[in-house]
Amino acid sequence: MAPEIHQRGRARLWRLVDRQHGVVTKRQLLELGYTPEGIRHRLRVGRLHRLYPGVFAVGRPQLSLRGRWTAAVFACGLEAALSHLSAAAHWGIRPVGIGRIDVSVPVHVSSRPAGIAVHRRAVLVPADVTRHDGIPVTRPVTTLIDIAGIIRPGQLEAAINEADKLDLVDPESLRRALDRMPRRPGIAVLRDTLDRHTFALTDSELERLFLPIARQSRLPQPETGCMVNGYRTDFYWPDLGLVVETDGLRYHRTPAQQARDRVRDQTHAAAGLTSLRFTHAQVRFDPDYVRATLAAVVRSRLSAAASSATSASS
């Protein structure tokens, strides 16, 4: 390599390495003008450090997490992408794990480098993959589908909420995207999770399911649909000073809806009422939790009333 070419090649190499978190491939070095003997020399003197066949760390062997992710993807070929739990960590919707790095490849790719969990998939189309911080990675929707079947339900709900908070995908858009996709592992679990927690009941269905729960919590018959402090309430016990509101959506309420909910709850609190808020899905799918919460609040309200009466009579 001529001196001037060598100088330009080094500058281009360092720009590339910076974008790739300290990692370079043999193919890229050859394209930059380095010879096989030059690559071997740099390995001998410690300027390059072999991570996987044809994948090197430049300068020092220690890499950042993003460098390790980049190296794992490069080790699996040009069509590979970070995926599953590793992709979820890269997007920030799941904590970083300490196990093997997950990489997805088309089904025809046979490589399986040590320390990498290779996922061969018949369907890995360009629409599934993007680049995030310079690393090929499955898109947020694909990532959520991939992890849906391998993490616990509560962890999946948390990942969906994190994706929403980070503006990667909101639950409604995610649910619509699932309907447009061909069948693949994880879609059914993710769809069921979303449907369960965006579950909505009609007023008559809500009363039919909620009123027996209230009776089992030793509550008398409430007033339903009445106005309290200027707001229509779902269920109201005037003697207990208790209001119960229900929401059809668990995951995604707009800022305006959330602000109205807060003002409503604050208004009831200022009037000395206890305001509880349950989702329709909790009423339908988790009645034991609703029942226990109601019973605890009733005990608290009755105890406070008894203490107040004792203080007034003394």
Sign of the dihedral defined by the CA atoms of residues 143, 145, 146, 149, in that order: positive
Distance CA 144, CA 173 (A): 13
> Which strand (E) or helix (H) includes residue 71?
helix 65-75
Give 10-residue mean pLDDT values along the chain (314 residues). Answer: 58 91 96 92 95 95 96 95 97 90 91 90 82 96 95 89 88 86 87 76 83 92 93 93 80 68 92 90 88 92 73 63
Distance CA 141, CA 177 (A): 8
Could you give all domains of the chain from N- to C-terminal order, each with its CATH number? 15-63 (no CATH), 65-197 (no CATH), 203-313 (3.40.960.10)
Residue-level pLDDT at 124:
72
Residues 6+ apart with CB under 8 A from 16: 24, 28, 32
Sign of the dihedral defined by the CA atoms of residues 108, 109, 115, 116, in that order: negative
Query: Nearest 5°: phi and psi at 15?
Result: -65, -40
- Counting every residue written for the chain, the total comes to 314
> Which strand (E) or helix (H) includes residue 108?
none
Residue-level pLDDT at 4:
45
Collapse the DSSP code of 106 into the 3-class scheme (helix H, G, I; strand E, B; otherwise coil) and give the result.
Answer: strand
Could you tell me the pTM of the whole model?
A: 0.68
Residue-level pLDDT at 21:
96
pLDDT in tens, 31-49: 998 999 999 999 999 999 9
